[in-house]
Amino acid sequence: MAIAAPLHLMCTPKVGHNIKGAFMRKITKTQYNYSANFKLAVILDVIQNGLCIHDAVRKYWNVTSSTDIDKYRSTVRRWKTTYENSGKMGFMKKDPSRKQEHLYKETKRTESSMDAELARLRAENEDLRMENDFLKKLRALILKEEQRKNCK
């Protein structure tokens, strides 16, 4: 005679199943949106003042339990990496439609507008070269004048 296992040990409950009054549900993480100023304040405190990430979490979130500290430490580490890679601009909100619009405008440029832009840049480059040559000559004249005054 086989011994029947109790019902609650026969299978692993799935999300949404009700087994003996214990309803299984998904546990979702709570997400927080922090301002760019707050992120920057935390990261600058870590970088400029030499505060370790653990102490920064305790200071800015006012938590003491190790599980809460661990939860926020990964957030601060991610912010630090973002700051090191992108600086302050890494914390600015990104509008996904901006990049697509920019790419769309680039593809719509015609060859004639690109040729006109190239001609304008070449003319500007020539003007800058002439200005640079003029300043070099002016500097040489000033130095020559100073040397003449020092010889007298």
pLDDT, tens only, 79-132: 899 888 888 888 776 655 445 444 445 555 677 788 888 899 999 999 999 999
The pLDDT confidence band at residue 22, using thresholds 50, 70 and 90, is: very low
Residue 80 CB coordination number (10 Å): 17
Distance CA 84, CA 90 (A): 9
Flag whether 43 is in a domain.
Answer: yes
87/106 same-domain check: no
| Domains of the chain: total | 2
Q: Check residue 9 and give its pLDDT.
A: 46
Q: Check residue 135 and give its pLDDT.
A: 93
Flag whether 9 is in a domain.
Answer: no
Can you give the residue range of the structural domain that contains 63? Answer: 32-93
Flag whether 139 is in a domain.
Answer: yes
Q: What are phi and psi of 48, to 5 degrees?
A: -75, -40
Distance CA 136, CA 122 (A): 21
Highest mean pLDDT among 1-10, 49-58, 137-146: 137-146
Flag whether 27 is in a domain.
Answer: no
Last residue of a domain, one of 55, 71, 93: 93
Q: 133 or 67: which carries more pLDDT confidence?
A: 133
Last residue of a domain, one of 77, 93, 109: 93
Place of tokens 């299984």: 24
Q: Check residue 93 and give its pLDDT.
A: 67
Last residue of a domain, one of 93, 109, 128: 93
HSE on the CB side for 19, CA within 13 Å?
14
Mean pLDDT of 22-42: 70
83/114 same-domain check: no
Q: Check residue 151 and give its pLDDT.
A: 84
